[in-house]
C-alpha cells in the first residue's frame, strides 16, 4: 500500500519510550503490506536478534547513511494481544482525528512507571451489631455527627470492611475521630499490603434488585444479541432515576459470567461515592476505579490488576477506555452526552466513537452501551437512523414526582422594579423552604464574583490584553483573566469615555452567595465552583456537608447539577438560564437544554415534591421551553431541524483546522493557504468557512484562528486532513514552517 522507502519502528512499547524509534528499510516485497501500526519482524542490536516491532512513521528521508540501515524481515502475524490492539487503536485515532502516531500512542498506553507495593487500611465494626446500634443512637442523641456517619455506614453492611480513605475522604470524618473510636473498641482499623486499590474491599453481594419489566427487557435483548454473536451499540434513553445504573450492573454480570471484562466510563465529576459504592457492593474486589486523584502508583497498580486478571471491571473517566483487559466484552458510557468525553488535546478523540472502534478490535468483539437522560444529538440521531439500538426507560423508580418548573421572565422583573438577582417567585419559594427546614440549590453557569465588567454608558468591555477574553471581577478589587491569570486593578472610571457607570454585568457564584446571606441571614450557605474546589478533597467535602444537612443552600456552577441525590432538596433556582446560549458555537442550545434538564432534575428526589424556577431573559427560546417541560423529543425535533438546515453535525460532519501563531498576519495567511489547498480539490458538497479568529482569539500572546469545512462524508474530511498533514510535514522537513502549529478537530464539541 505504501510507496515509502523507510519505516520508523518502535520496539519497546511503553509510554515512556514511545519517542525512541529505529529506522528500517522496507524491502520492495513488503511495500504493499506495510502501513502505520503494522507489526513487523526486525533484526535488532549487534547480534541482530529478531524482535517484534511496530511501524510508527513512514518516510522517504533516511535518517542515516542509507547503506547502514537494516531491512525489515517480515510482517508479523496478526494477533489480538493487548499490545496489538493498542497500536491498532492508536493508528485508527491518528487517521480518524488527525495527530502524530506518537501522540496517539501516548494516549492509549497507560502512563506510569513501575511502582512499589503499598499498604491499605480498612475500617470495620469491632462490636456486635446490637451494641453498635446502641452506640449509633447514642451518637445521634449527642449530635456526634461524624461518629454517626461512620456507624451508620458500617451498620448498613456489618460484615463489610470499608476503605479508610473512603471514610476520611468521602464521609469527611477526621483520622482523630477514627483513632478514638478504635481505642474505645468500637471499630477496628487494619492494614494490608497489596496492589494499591483506591476503593476496594471484599463484600457480600447485597441489595440486588429484581429488575422491572422494562429493565429486564433490555438485559434480555442485549444478552440474546450477545449470545448470537451480534455486537452492537445500544443507547439507553431514560431519565435520572429510571434504573439505568441497575441495568449496567446486570449487563456486566452477564458479561463476566461469559469470562469477559467490562469498562464503565462515567464523567469524572459524577464519579461520586454513592455511584462507586453501588458497583463495589455488587462486585466487591473485582472492580476498581481510575481517576485523576489517584497517585501514579495507584494508577499503575490498577492497570496491572486489569492486565493480570485481578479485576473484571474498571470504572473511570474517558481515559479508562484504554484499560488493558485481556478480553473486554462490554464498554458502558454513562451520561454519554457529556462534553468531557471529547479530548481537548491531540488526538481530539471522542470516547464514544473510540469505544465503538475498540469494540471491533478486541477479541470476539465488544458491545457498547450508552446511557443518558438527555442523549447527545449524535447518539439519538444515530439511533433514529437505525445505526444504534434504542432502549427507553420511561418510569422513574425512585418514587418522587417530577418537579414543577416555572419560568421567571427577568425583563418583566426589571420592568416591575425588581433589581435583585432573585425573581419574586424565587424569593417566595426560598422563604417557604427555609422556613420548613428543607434545602435549596441555586445554579449559575459562571464562576467568580461577576461576569464581565462593562461601561453602561459606552459599552466598553474590559478584556485581557493577552487572551481576548473578558476579565472578571474578583474580591479585593482586582480584574482577573481566567486563561492566563493576568490581573489589573478595578477602576471606577471608564478608560474609553470617562463615564463613571462601570459595573459588573452579571452575577457570579460569589455574588450570589453574598446575596443569599443578605436576604436570608440565618441560612447556612455553601458555594461550589472552580475556586472552592481547587484543593484535593474539597469537592467531596462540600457535597458531604450538604448531604449531611449541615447547610441549607448550595450555590454553584454546573458542578452541582451532576448526578447527586439530595432527597431534601425541594427547590432549585436556575439564576440565568440563557447564559450558555451566548456561547458562540453550534452546540449552545444543546448544552443549555442538557444543563437545565439536569439542574431541574435535582429537585424533588425524595418523597417531597419539588419546585424549579428558571430565570431567563429569553423565556420563549425552545431550549428553555422544552427543558422546563422535560420534553427531550420536542427539543430534539427543533434542534435537529436547525442542524439539518445549516449542515451541522450530526446531520453532516465538520472539521475545524485550528491554526496557532505568534504572528497574527502570518497565521491568517497560512490559514488562507490551507483553505485554498482544500478548495483546489473541492469535493461535492464541501462548504468552507473562514479563516477567522477563534472564539478565544489569543491565549498567552499566541493568536488562534480556524478554518472550518463541512461535508456529509466523514472520509472526505479525513482525506482533506491527510492532504494538509502531508503539506505541513513537507514544509517542516524543509524547515519552512516556523512559529505555526496546526491541529484538527472533527465534529468539535468544545469551543475553540
Q: Which is nearer to Zn ion, 137 or 501 (CB)?
A: 501
Residues paired with residue 163 on neighbouring β-strands, in sequence order: 122
611 binds ligand ADP (CB under 6 A): no
Which one of the spans 19-27, 236-244, 356-364, 629-637 is the region binding ligand ADP (CB under 6 A)?
Answer: 236-244
Nearest one of 121, 120, 166, 113 to 297, comparing CA atoms: 113
DSSP state of 462: -
212 binds ligand ADP (CB under 6 A): yes
Residue 397 binds: one of ligand ADP, Zn ion, none (C-beta under 5 to 8 A by kind): ligand ADP
494 binds Zn ion (CB under 5 A): yes
CB of 369 to ligand ADP, least distance (A): 12
Interaction mask 380-409, ligand ADP, x per CB under 6 A: -----------------xx-----------
- For strand 74-75 and strand 39-44, is the pairing parallel, antiparallel, or unpaired? antiparallel
Contact by Cβ (8 Å): 91, 305: no
CB of 264 to ligand ADP, least distance (A): 12
Which one of the spans 237-245, 301-309, 343-351, 427-435 is the region binding ligand ADP (CB under 6 A)?
Answer: 237-245
483 binds Zn ion (CB under 5 A): yes
**Member of 246, 298, 335, 353 binding ligand ADP (CB under 6 A):** 246
Helices and strands of the chain, counted as H and E runs: 21, 30
Residue 244 binds: one of Zn ion, ligand ADP, none (C-beta under 5 to 8 A by kind): ligand ADP
Angle at 575 between CA 570 and CA 576, to 5 degrees: 145
Q: How far apart are the C-alpha atoms of 374 and 95, rounded to whole Å?
A: 30
Residues paired with residue 331 on neighbouring β-strands, in sequence order: 263, 368
Q: How far apart are the C-alpha atoms of 617 and 629, rounded to whole Å?
A: 18
Residue 49 binds: one of ligand ADP, Zn ion, none (C-beta under 5 to 8 A by kind): none
**Member of 155, 211, 640, 686 binding ligand ADP (CB under 6 A):** 211
Q: How far apart are the C-alpha atoms of 590 and 649, rounded to whole Å?
A: 12
CB of 167 to ligand ADP, least distance (A): 22
Which one of the spans 51-59, 208-216, 299-307, 679-687 is the region binding ligand ADP (CB under 6 A)?
Answer: 208-216
- In 444-486 the beta strands, taken as DSSP E runs, fall at 453-455, 472-474, 478-480
157 binds ligand ADP (CB under 6 A): no
Which one of the spans 59-67, 388-396, 449-457, 742-750 is the region binding Zn ion (CB under 5 A)?
Answer: 449-457
**Member of 133, 144, 293, 457 binding Zn ion (CB under 5 A):** 457
Which one of the spans 97-105, 233-241, 293-301, 568-576 is the region binding ligand ADP (CB under 6 A)?
Answer: 233-241
Give the three-state DSSP class for 548.
Answer: coil
| Residue count of the chain | 752
471 binds Zn ion (CB under 5 A): no
Q: Which is nearer to ligand ADP, 211 or 669 (CB)?
A: 211
CB of 492 to Zn ion, least distance (A): 12
324 binds ligand ADP (CB under 6 A): no
Q: How far apart are the C-alpha atoms of 177 and 187, rounded to whole Å?
A: 11
For residue 347, whether the previous peptide bond is cis, meaning omega lies within 30 degrees of 0, is yes
209 binds ligand ADP (CB under 6 A): yes
Residues paired with residue 472 on neighbouring β-strands, in sequence order: 452, 480
Q: How many residues bind ligand ADP (CB under 6 A)?
A: 15
Which one of the spans 87-95, 239-247, 473-481, 501-509 is the region binding ligand ADP (CB under 6 A)?
Answer: 239-247
466 binds Zn ion (CB under 5 A): yes
In 205-243, which residue ranges form alpha helices assigned H by DSSP? 213-227
338 binds ligand ADP (CB under 6 A): no
623 binds ligand ADP (CB under 6 A): no
453 binds Zn ion (CB under 5 A): no
Give the three-state DSSP class for 307.
Answer: helix
CA 590 to chain centre: 16
CB of 564 to ligand ADP, least distance (A): 11
Most distant pair of Cα atoms in the chain: their distance:
88
Which one of the spans 305-313, 347-355, 491-499, 668-676 is the region binding Zn ion (CB under 5 A)?
Answer: 491-499
245 binds ligand ADP (CB under 6 A): yes
Which one of the spans 471-479, 490-498, 593-601, 618-626 is the region binding Zn ion (CB under 5 A)?
Answer: 490-498
Cell numbers found for residue 108:
492509549
**Member of 163, 243, 375, 573 binding ligand ADP (CB under 6 A):** 243
244 binds ligand ADP (CB under 6 A): yes
Residue 124 binds: one of ligand ADP, Zn ion, none (C-beta under 5 to 8 A by kind): none
Which one of the spans 11-19, 234-242, 325-333, 375-383 is the region binding ligand ADP (CB under 6 A)?
Answer: 234-242
- With cell 449552545, the residue in question is 588
Interaction mask 276-305, Zn ion, x per CB under 5 A: ------------------------------
List the strands of the sheet with 611-616, edge to edge. 404-409, 611-616, 569-574, 439-443, 553-556, 525-528
Which one of the spans 176-184, 328-336, 496-504, 626-634 is the region binding Zn ion (CB under 5 A)?
Answer: 496-504
Contact by Cβ (8 Å): 6, 62: yes
486 binds Zn ion (CB under 5 A): yes
Residue 240 binds: one of ligand ADP, Zn ion, none (C-beta under 5 to 8 A by kind): ligand ADP
CB of 278 to ligand ADP, least distance (A): 7
Q: How far apart are the C-alpha atoms of 471 and 485, rounded to whole Å?
A: 10
Residues paired with residue 190 on neighbouring β-strands, in sequence order: 122
CB atoms under 10 Å from CB of 108, counted, come to 24
**Member of 8, 86, 157, 215 binding ligand ADP (CB under 6 A):** 215
CB of 270 to ligand ADP, least distance (A): 10
**Member of 242, 423, 652, 661 binding ligand ADP (CB under 6 A):** 242
Q: How far apart are the C-alpha atoms of 316 and 275, rounded to whole Å?
A: 11
375 binds ligand ADP (CB under 6 A): no
Q: How far apart are the C-alpha atoms of 73 and 76, rounded to whole Å?
A: 9
List the strands of the sheet with 328-334, edge to edge. 287-289, 313-316, 261-265, 328-334, 367-372, 233-238, 389-393
Distances (CA, A) of 198 to 165, 195, 300, 322, 640: 8, 9, 11, 18, 42
The torsion angle over the Cα atoms of residues 509, 512, 514 and 518, rounded to 10 degrees, is -170
Nearest one of 123, 388, 133 to 236, comparing CA atoms: 388
In 70-185, which residue ranges form alpha helices assigned H by DSSP? 82-97, 101-108, 129-142, 145-156, 164-168, 175-183
Q: What is the CA radius of gyration of the chain?
A: 28
Provide the binding-site residues for Zn ion, judged by CB under 5 A: 455, 457-458, 460, 464, 466-467, 481, 483-484, 486, 494, 496-497, 499
Provide the binding-site residues for ligand ADP, judged by CB under 6 A: 209-212, 215, 238, 240-246, 397-398
Amino acid at each position: 500500500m505504501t510507496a515509502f522507502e523507510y519505516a520508523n519502528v518502535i520496539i519497546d512499547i511503553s509510554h515512556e519510550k514511545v519517542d525512541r524509534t529505529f529506522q528500517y528499510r522496507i524491502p520492495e516485497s513488503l511495500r504493499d503490506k506495510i502501513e502505520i501500526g503494522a507489526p513487523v519482524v526486525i533484526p535488532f542490536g549487534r547480534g541482530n536478534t529478531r524482535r517484534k516491532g511496530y511501524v510508527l512513521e513512514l518516510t522517504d528521508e533516511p535518517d542515516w547513511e542509507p547503506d547502514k540501515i537494516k531491512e525489515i524481515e517480515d510482517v508479523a502475524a496478526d494477533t489480538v494481544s493487548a499490545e496489538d490492539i493498542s497500536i491498532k487503536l492508536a493508528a485508527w485515532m491518528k487517521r480518524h482525528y488527525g495527530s502524530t502516531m506518537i501522540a496517539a500512542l501516548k494516549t492509549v498506553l497507560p502512563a506510569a512507571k513501575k511502582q512499589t507495593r503499598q499498604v491499605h487500611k480498612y475500617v470495620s465494626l469491632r462490636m456486635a451489631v446490637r451494641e453498635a446500634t446502641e452506640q449509633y443512637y447514642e451518637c445521634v442523641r449527642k449530635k456526634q455527627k461524624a461518629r454517626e456517619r461512620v456507624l451508620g455506614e458500617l451498620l448498613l453492611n456489618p460484615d463489610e470492611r470499608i476503605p479508610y480513605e473512603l471514610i476520611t475522604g468521602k464521609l469527611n470524618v477526621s483520622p482523630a475521630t477514627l483513632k478514638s473510636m478504635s481505642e474505645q473498641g468500637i471499630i477496628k482499623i487494619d492494614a494490608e499490603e497489596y496492589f494499591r486499590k483506591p476503593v476496594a474491599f471484599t463484600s457480600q453481594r447485597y441489595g440486588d434488585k429484581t429488575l422491572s419489566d422494562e429493565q429486564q427487557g433490555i438485559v434480555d435483548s442485549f444478552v440474546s444479541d450477545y449470545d448470537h454473536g451480534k455486537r452492537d451499540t445500544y443507547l439507553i434513553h431514560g431519565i435520572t432515576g429510571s434504573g439505568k445504573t441497575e441495568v449496567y450492573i446486570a449487563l456486566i454480570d452477564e458479561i463476566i459470567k461469559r469470562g469477559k471484562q467490562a469498562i464503565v466510563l462515567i464523567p469524572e465529576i459524577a464519579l461520586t461515592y454513592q455511584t462507586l459504592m453501588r458497583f463495589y457492593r455488587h462486585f466487591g474486589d473485582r472492580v476498581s476505579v481510575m481517576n485523576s486523584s489517584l497517585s501514579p502508583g495507584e494508577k499503575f497498580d490498577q492497570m496491572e490488576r486489569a492486565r493480570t486478571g485481578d479485576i473484571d471491571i474498571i470504572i473511570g473517566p474517558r481515559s479508562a477506555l484504554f484499560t488493558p483487559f485481556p478480553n473486554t466484552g462490554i464498554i458502558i458510557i454513562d451520561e454519554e452526552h457529556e462534553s468531557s468525553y471529547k479530548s481537548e488535546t491531540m488526538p481530539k478523540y471522542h470516547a464514544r466513537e473510540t469505544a465503538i472502534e475498540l469494540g471491533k478490535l478486541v477479541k470476539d468483539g465488544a458491545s457498547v452501551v450508552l446511557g443518558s437522560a438527555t442523549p447527545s444529538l449524535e447518539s439519538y440521531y444515530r439511533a433514529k437512523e437505525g445505526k444504534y439500538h434504542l432502549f427507553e426507560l420511561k418510569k422513574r423508580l425512585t418514587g418522587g414526582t417530577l418537579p414543577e418548573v416555572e419560568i421567571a421572565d427577568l425583563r418583566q422583573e426589571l420592568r416591575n422594579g425588581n433589581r435583585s438577582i432573585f425573581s419574586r417567585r424565587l424569593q417566595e419559594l426560598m422563604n417557604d423552604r427555609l422556613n420548613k427546614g428543607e434545602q435549596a440549590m441555586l445554579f449559575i453557569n459562571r464562576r467568580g464574583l461577576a461576569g464581565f465588567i462593562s461601561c453602561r454608558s459606552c459599552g466598553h468591555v474590559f478584556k485581557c490584553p493577552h487572551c481576548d477574553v473578558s476579565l472578571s471581577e474578583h474580591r479585593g478589587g482586582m480584574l482577573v483573566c481566567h486563561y492566563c491569570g493576568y490581573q489589573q486593578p478595578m477602576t471606577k472610571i471608564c478608560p474609553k469615555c470617562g463615564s463613571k457607570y462601570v459595573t459588573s454585568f452579571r452575577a457570579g457564584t460569589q455574588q450570589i452567595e453574598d446575596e443569599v446571606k443578605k436576604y436570608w441571614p440565618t441560612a447556612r450557605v455553601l458555594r461550589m465552583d472552580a475556586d472552592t474546589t481547587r484543593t484535593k478533597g474539597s469537592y467531596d467535602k462540600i457535597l458531604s456537608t450538604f448531604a449531611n444537612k449541615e447547610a441549607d443552600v448550595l450555590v454553584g456552577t454546573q458542578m452541582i447539577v451532576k448526578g447527586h441525590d439530595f432527597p431534601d432538596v425541594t427547590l432549585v433556582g436556575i439564576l440565568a438560564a440563557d447564559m450558555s446560549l451566548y456561547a458562540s458555537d453550534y452546540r449552545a442550545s444543546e448544552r443549555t437544554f442538557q444543563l437545565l434538564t439536569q439542574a431541574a432534575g435535582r429537585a424533588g428526589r425524595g418523597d417531597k415534591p419539588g419546585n424549579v424556577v428558571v430565570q431567563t431573559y429569553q423565556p420563549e427560546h425552545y431550549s428553555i421551553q422544552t427543558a422546563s417541560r422535560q420534553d427531550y423529543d420536542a427539543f430534539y425535533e427543533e434542534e435537529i431541524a436547525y442542524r439539518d438546515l445549516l449542515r451541522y453535525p450530526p446531520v453532516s460532519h465538520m472539521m475545524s483546522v485550528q491554526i496557532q501563531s505568534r504572528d497574527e498576519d502570518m497565521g491568517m495567511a497560512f490559514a488562507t493557504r490551507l483553505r485554498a489547498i482544500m478548495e483546489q480539490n473541492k469535493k461535492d458538497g464541501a462548504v468552507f468557512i473562514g479563516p477567522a479568529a477563534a472564539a478565544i482569539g489569543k491565549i498567552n500572546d499566541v493568536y488562534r484562528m480556524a478554518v472550518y469545512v463541512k461535508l456529509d462524508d466523514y472520509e472526505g474530511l479525513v482525506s482533506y486532513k491527510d492532504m494538509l498533514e502531508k503539506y505541513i510535514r513537507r514544509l517542516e522537513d524543509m524547515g519552512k514552517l516556523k512559529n505555526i502549529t496546526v491541529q484538527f478537530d472533527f465534529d468539535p464539541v468544545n469551543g475553540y
